[in-house]
């Protein structure tokens, strides 16, 4: 669907409800178990076009951070209450392999995974659930979740405001959005390739 793949179209579709709509998207992608939403590029585009859409940078920053923070909280709650029961091998969205990837990420980086995963699509949606399933210390979880929300939203906004001053970026937002997604998923692609080659070499 075009409005999901193109953040500008999505923002325009939301009309006067652009900030509440943006908040809902960030909440869902941050831990409500639907990873296929343009979180990174949506914040970037919203910052770049904030004047056009009629909201302030301060409002975007506050809404973005709160939504991202609460989304991860929801993911932790789901993980602590339902855990792996939500996932199935043949599911269309809640695939077991997605949870395994998030659990591996969480095991490897510990609490820091809440910050690092913010910049990795799909993984960032399921790491909070993995943290909840593992019963991560809740106080520590709150601290790292807060840091992650501020860092992610702030960085994407800074990129939008800074690169938006470049004429090509301002007139080719769709291309930049695709580039952001590509850069975001690149670590996952590299990890997948390494895993495939490593497994093949050991067989």
| Cα–Cα distance for residue pair 37/122, rounded to 1 Å | 9
**Whole-number pLDDT of residue 58:** 95
**Whole-number pLDDT of residue 117:** 82
Per-residue pLDDT of the chain (203 residues; tens, 9 = 90+): 444 557 888 888 888 899 999 999 999 888 877 766 778 888 988 998 898 888 999 999 999 999 999 999 999 998 888 877 777 777 776 777 777 777 787 788 888 888 888 887 777 888 888 888 888 889 999 999 999 999 999 988 998 888 877 776 656 565 665 566 555 555 555 555 555 555 555 55
| Cα–Cα distance for residue pair 144/142, rounded to 1 Å | 6
**Whole-number pLDDT of residue 202:** 55
Long-range contacts of 183-192 (CB under 8 A, 24+ apart): 184/40, 184/119, 184/120, 184/121, 185/120, 185/121, 185/122, 187/120, 188/101, 188/120, 188/121, 188/122, 188/123
**Whole-number pLDDT of residue 2:** 42
Q: What is the dihedral of CA 101, 103, 107, 108, to 10 degrees?
A: 20
**Whole-number pLDDT of residue 99:** 75
Q: What DSSP state is assigned to residue 55?
A: -
Domain boundaries, the chain: 2-202
**Whole-number pLDDT of residue 56:** 93
- Closest by CA to 38, choosing from 171, 178, 186, is 178
**Whole-number pLDDT of residue 59:** 95
**Whole-number pLDDT of residue 1:** 41
Q: Tell me the β-bridge partners of 88.
A: 95
C-alpha to C-alpha distances, 50 to 6, 54, 79, 84, 164, nearest whole angstrom = 16, 6, 35, 39, 11
**Whole-number pLDDT of residue 3:** 43
């Amino acid at each position: 669907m075009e409005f999901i793949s193109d953040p500008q179209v999505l923002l325009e579709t939301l009309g006067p409800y652009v900030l509440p709509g943006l908040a809902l998207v960030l909440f869902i992608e941050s831990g409500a178990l639907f990873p296929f939403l343009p979180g990174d590029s949506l914040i970037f585009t919203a910052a770049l076009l904030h004047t056009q859409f009629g909201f302030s940078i301060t409002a975007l920053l506050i809404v973005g951070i709160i939504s991202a923070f609460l989304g991860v909280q929801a993911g932790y709650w789901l993980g602590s209450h339902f855990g792996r029961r939500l996932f199935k091998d043949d599911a269309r969205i809640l695939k077991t392999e997605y949870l395994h990837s998030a659990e591996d990420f969480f095991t490897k980086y510990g609490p820091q995974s809440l910050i690092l995963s913010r910049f990795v699509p799909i993984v960032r949606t399921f790491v909070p659930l993995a943290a909840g399933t593992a019963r991560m210390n809740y106080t520590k979880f709150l601290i790292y979740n807060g840091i992650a929300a501020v860092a992610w939203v702030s960085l994407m906004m800074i990129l939008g405001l800074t690169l938006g001053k470049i004429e090509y970026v301002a007139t080719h937002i769709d291309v930049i959005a695709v580039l952001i997604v590509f850069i975001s998923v690149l670590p996952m692609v590299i990890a997948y390739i390494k895993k495939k080659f490593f497994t093949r070499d050991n067989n």
